[in-house]
Chain A
Amino acid sequence: MHVPDGFLDAPTSIATGAAAVACVGTALAGARRELDDKTAPMAGLVAAFIFATQMINFPVASGTSGHLLGGALAAVLVGPFTAVLCMSVVFLVQSLLFADGGITALGTNIMLMGVTTVVVGWLVFRGLQAVLPKRLTLVPFCAGAAALVSVPAAATLFVVLYEIGGTADIPLHSLATAMIGVHVLIGIGEAVITFLAVASIIAVRPDLVYGARRVLARRELEVRTSTGAAT
């Protein structure tokens, strides 16, 4: 999935690199509001979690399997700014320590799989939350829908980038059909897994899910004195 060196030409790689720097800079400022002085340890641990997540293989059929991208999941769990930081650091570590994804394509990888999946995922999530009733059980559904849209969105951006700076002339419509078609399928898998994972976290620690905080804030504290006084 990672874009290697030489896949896009040098000007496009530099342009996406500059865009990635701008996005990460914005995320750095924004994450301070989401996490304050907890940013470094929390985002670091969540980045390690995202890295581990991408190592879990989900069997599809007859021996093939895929793994989660995790952009939308991270956005719902820790908030969009922290999620962008986590995803960017994951790609940086993968590129420098694991030779996964080219160093010149780092900006491209961050923009495609970090920023696009997180931003699109978060917008869809927030949009749905605004429309749907504010209930805790609906948060996993919104997260799943966010994941569903985020993967084809990243594929679309890839097609656009490839059209601008691609190194082989593949007809646009056939590339677009193939890429987006395949990624709609991947998106469905991502949606199901994101839904299940968020649902399982909400069942245990709903307070940890950033996307559920608004819903939780509306719940009133119940003080049951009549039964509590007995002990």
Chain B
Amino acid sequence: MGAGHGHKLHFHGHSPVHRAPAHLKILTLIAFMLVVVATPREWYPVFGLYLLLVVAVIALSRVPPTYILKRSVVEVPFLFFALLLPFVATGPTTEVLGVTVSQHGLLAAWGLLVKGTLGVLASLTLAATTEPQEILLGLERLHLPAQLVQIMAFMVRYLDVVTGEMQRMKVARESRGFSARNPRHWPVLARSLGALFIRSYERGERVHLAMLSRGYTGRMPR
């Protein structure tokens, strides 16, 4: 907890990718992903080139590839959707391994798969090589409204506090023999949610008062 610690996806290192200014990394990520998304999905070799590029950056950052791959699981739910596409889309059909599937659907599934995977890999690389504090400073340099950066800073700062509080409530529930198995247990979980909101909100009030007593006027000191 506290400043200086990386978030869950951060991998500490000192490579050129780690040291690059955060705002450049964010801009590069956005530009790269826009190009990827705008590339027609029939240009198969170009995607190989993109993948090589991402792999090269990961290699340069010296973040272990297994570290990135393990965290790519966020992609899994939408892989199911991509796998479903060839069966629900319309248009001319073709046979793959004896199963009749839609050609358009197959192509769309390929497009989704390759673009989504590139997106996840590129985002994970940014997250693995950049401290949250750096990302905040980068966004500030990119002239994101100061108010928004401040809200984000408070959220990042208190994320572990609030999720930790939630975790402790979960431990407390389960040590009393509670385990959520079906909708009949929703009222208990929802009451925990209510308690978590009250605690978060009151913590926000205390933080605000503490800031006021240190001379806060609505603007963060440099």
Q: List A residues at the B interface (Cβ < 8 Å).
A: 1, 4-7, 9-10, 13-14, 24-25, 28, 31, 37-49, 51-53, 55-61, 68, 77, 85-86, 88-90, 92-93, 95-100, 102-104, 167-171, 174, 189, 192-193, 196-201, 204-205, 208
Contact = CB atoms under 8 A, between A and B. Distances in A.
Given A169-B89, A169-B91, A4 B120 contact: yes
11 contacts: A4-B78, A6-B114, A6-B118, A42-B208, A49-B200, A51-B159, A90-B155, A99-B72, A104-B37, A169-B89, A169-B104
Contacts of A201: 194, 197-198
B42 interface: no
Nearest to A25: B145
Contact of A44 (B26, B107, B154, B191): B154
B119 A196 contact: no
Contacts of B157: 44
A168 B106 CA distance: 9
Given A9-B37, A28-B148, A196-B186, 8 more contacts: A40-B151, A45-B207, A49-B200, A51-B155, A52-B159, A99-B9, A197-B193, A201-B198
Given A5-B118, A96-B123, A169-B89, A49 B197 contact: yes
Given A99-B9, A102-B116, A44 B186 contact: no
Contacts of B124: 99
A12 B157 CA distance: 33
Contacts of A99: 9, 71-72, 74, 120, 123-124, 127
A43 B34 CA distance: 30
A170 B89 contact: yes
B63 interface: no
B184 to A, nearest CB: 9
B127 A97 contact: yes
Interface string B176-210: 00001111011101111111111011011101100
Interface string B1-37: 0000001110000000000000000100110011011
Contacts of B115: 4-6
Contacts, number: 259
A178 to B, nearest CB: 8
B156 interface: yes
A6 B119 contact: yes
Interface of A is mostly: helix
B150 interface: yes
Contact of A197 (B163, B183, B190, B220): B190
Contacts of B151: 39-40, 43-44, 47, 85-86, 89
Interface in B54-87: 71-72, 74-75, 77-78, 85
Contacts of A39: 147, 150-151
B186 A102 contact: no
Nearest to A32: B147
Contact of A46 (B153, B190, B201): B201
B183 A45 contact: no
A176 B91 CA distance: 18
B116 A196 contact: no
B173 to A, nearest CB: 11
Contacts of B41: 167
